């Protein structure tokens, strides 16, 4: 089989207070997203959010249904967001081919039966990072190129959090049921993402860290604002953030990450910001 999945159940904030490093990592860290000629998925019970990596090298890979969906095909009741963090590739949706270059994205609406991923070159493969959430309506499939995104500059070098945030799959760019996805790149010399930190109890979130240089790492902070924990992240790993948790990180160099979220509403800005001196 080219597709494999793992289920992660929800944890309460009370329970997480007593987790040691191993249990924290087992519950929230997603280590092996990209494996040659495989689709690796993690099905989180927070908002039934699926995160995955697709790495076609020698063959095309089909997004087949998985048992937890109990559905005849993957997108029967789901929508899908794809961002290519590798080289040139193609996603074919019910016979229509969409070429995705580095950092281009595709939104695939609910009801599409066949989704097939391929790379243009096996020596310089595409790497498709994917997020999928339950969907109640079928919206059109749409490619989002690097010129289509909404760009916001955040932070400053003085507070070590200068970064560029790009909104790819948000409802001002593409019609969606509940999925939101974007990419944030930390500027050289800065290290912090999402600082001041925030929570949004209406939505869970997953961060996928990439472009971390060899030999460097990102320390990701999670937990209730007054009860934080950390997880050391390596390149091309993701981390699940429960709705009650902050999600922020500081790297030993600059880096990028893809954020994806789902839940109650589509209001990107309705986060509850935590005052930095109040964090514990
Ligand atoms: O650097 C940031 O700030 C972010 O990228 C924040 C994420 O977009 C987020 O957490 C949205 O809720
Ligand atoms: Zn957030």
Handedness of CA 268, 39, 104, 220 (dihedral sign): positive
Q: What SS3 class is residue 67? A: helix
> Is 198 one of the annotated binding-site residues?
yes
Can you tell me the ipTM of this complex?
0.99
- Indicate the average pLDDT of the chain: 98
Residue nearest to atom 8 of ligand 1 (CA): 259
List pLDDT tens digits, range 45-64. Answer: 999 999 999 999 999 999 99
CA of 257, closest atom in ligand 1: 5
CA of 198, closest atom in ligand 1: 10
Spatial distance between the Cα atoms of 144 and 136, rounded to a whole number of angstroms: 22
List pLDDT tens digits, range 204-263. Answer: 999 999 999 999 999 999 999 999 999 999 999 999 999 999 999 999 999 999 999 999
Residues paired with 117 in a beta bridge? 61, 91
Residue nearest to atom 6 of ligand 1 (CA): 194
Q: What is the pLDDT of residue 64?
A: 98
Q: Could you tell which of 152, 194, 260, 272 is best to mutate to test the pocket of ligand 1, judged by most ligand atoms within 8 Å of the CB?
A: 194
Q: What SS3 class is residue 13? A: helix
User: How far does residue 235's CA lie from ligand 2's centre (Å)?
Assistant: 20
Evaluate if pTM is beyond 0.90. yes
List pLDDT tens digits, range 87-105. Answer: 999 999 999 999 999 999 9
Residue nearest to atom 3 of ligand 1 (CA): 194
User: How far does residue 80's CA lie from ligand 1's centre (Å)?
Assistant: 20
- The domain of 180 spans 3-278
Parallel, antiparallel, or unpaired for β 203-210 and 237-241?
antiparallel
CA of 203, closest atom in ligand 1: 12
CB 177 within 8 A of CB 162: no
Residue nearest to atom 5 of ligand 1 (CA): 184
Q: How many domains does the chain have?
A: 1
Q: What is the pLDDT of residue 1?
A: 76
- CATH number of the structural domain spanning residue 144: 2.60.120.10
> Is 102 one of the annotated binding-site residues?
no
List pLDDT tens digits, range 136-152. Answer: 999 999 999 999 999 99
Give the DSSP H/E element, type plus range, for residue 61: strand 61-62
Q: What is the pLDDT of residue 27?
A: 98
């Amino acid at each position: 089989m080219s597709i494999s999945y793992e289920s992660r159940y929800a944890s309460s904030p009370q329970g997480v207070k007593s987790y040691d490093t191993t249990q924290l990592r087992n519950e929230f860290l997603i280590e092996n997203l990209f494996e040659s000629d495989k689709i690796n998925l993690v099905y989180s019970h927070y908002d039934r959010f699926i995160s995955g990596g697709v790495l076609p090298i020698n063959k095309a890979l089909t997004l087949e249904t998985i048992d937890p969906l109990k559905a005849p095909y993957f997108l029967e009741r789901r929508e899908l967001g794809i961002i290519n963090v590798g080289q040139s590739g193609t996603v074919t949706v019910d016979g229509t081919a969409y070429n995705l270059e580095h950092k281009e994205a595709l939104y695939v609406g609910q009801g599409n039966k066949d989704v097939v991923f391929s790379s243009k070159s096996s020596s310089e493969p595409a790497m498709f990072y994917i997020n999928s959430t339950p969907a109640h309506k079928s919206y059109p499939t749409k490619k989002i190129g690097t010129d289509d995104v909404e760009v916001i500059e955040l932070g400053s070098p003085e507070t070590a959090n200068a970064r560029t945030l790009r909104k790819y799959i948000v409802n001002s760019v593409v019609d969606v049921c509940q999925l939101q996805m974007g990419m944030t790149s930390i500027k050289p010399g800065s290290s912090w993402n999402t600082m001041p930190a925030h929570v949004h109890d209406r939505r869970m979130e997953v961060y996928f860290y990439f472009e971390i240089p060899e030999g460097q790492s990102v320390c990701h902070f999670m937990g209730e604002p007054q009860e934080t924990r950390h997880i050391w992240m390596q390149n091309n790993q993701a981390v699940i953030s429960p709705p009650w948790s902050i999600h922020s990180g500081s790297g030993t160099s600059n880096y990028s990450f893809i954020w994806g979220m789902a839940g109650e509403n589509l209001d990107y800005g309705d986060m509850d910001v935590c005052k930095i001196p109040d964090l514990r």
